[in-house]
């Protein structure tokens, strides 16, 4: 089947998602998501349950849309000047590759830097993407971002690792 997606296309998708965030193309980034998707950042190392345990972040599409609207907003005074970010990622592992079913899962280690004014924070993390092939395009069904030091105290994360 020549129209099936390749591993390289799955890996390129992860790189392109990081680039969109680094370039502040939040509307393009949001368009990658399925409407029933969730962005999860666990509070505890190796946490398994986002619903019955406290998380740093557990956002559905509606909340992601609000975040993007806030980041794009002219009246978002906490973002004057705007925060900027930079993802330095290792080549993603493709842990699940089921092109016939249109299902893929990746695991990507990265360093994430977020900066605004004189403040800068560096986060080491692992991102797991649960991807689906919908009408020939990859879409994010779920994303889990596990911070290496999730149990540490740190400032607000304004953008999206």
pLDDT in tens, 70-126: 998 888 777 788 889 999 999 999 999 999 999 999 999 999 999 988 889 899 999
Residue 154 lies in a domain: no
Instruction: Evaluate if pTM is beyond 0.85.
Output: yes
Share of the chain above pLDDT 90, in %: 75
Residue 153 lies in a domain: no
Please say whether the dihedral angle defined by the alpha carbons of residues 149, 50, 96 and 102, taken in this order, is positive or negative.
Answer: negative
* Number of independent structural domains in the chain: 1
Residue 1 lies in a domain: no
Q: Give first-to-last CA distance, the chain, whole Å.
A: 35
Residue 156 lies in a domain: no
In the numeric block, the tokens 């016939």 are attached to 100
Residue 155 lies in a domain: no
Q: What is the CATH number of the domain that holds 143?
A: 3.10.450.50
Residue 158 lies in a domain: no
Domain hosting residue 121, numbered range: 7-147
């Amino acid at each position: 089947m020549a129209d099936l997606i390749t591993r390289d296309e799955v890996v390129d998708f992860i790189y392109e998602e990081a680039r969109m965030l680094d370039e502040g193309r939040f509307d393009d980034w949001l368009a990658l998501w399925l409407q029933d998707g969730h962005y999860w950042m666990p509070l505890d190392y190796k946490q398994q349950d986002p619903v019955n345990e406290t998380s740093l972040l557990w956002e559905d599409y509606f909340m992601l849309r609000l975040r993007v609207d806030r980041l794009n907003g002219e009246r978002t005074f906490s973002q004057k000047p705007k925060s900027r970010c930079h993802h330095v990622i290792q080549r993603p592992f493709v842990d699940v590759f089921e092109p016939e079913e249109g299902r893929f899962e990746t695991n990507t280690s990265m360093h994430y830097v977020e900066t605004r004014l004189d403040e800068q924070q560096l986060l080491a993390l692992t991102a797991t993407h649960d991807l689906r092939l919908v009408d020939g395009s990859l879409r994010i069904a779920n994303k889990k971002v596990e911070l290496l030091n999730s149990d540490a105290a740190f400032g607000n994360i304004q953008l999206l690792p």
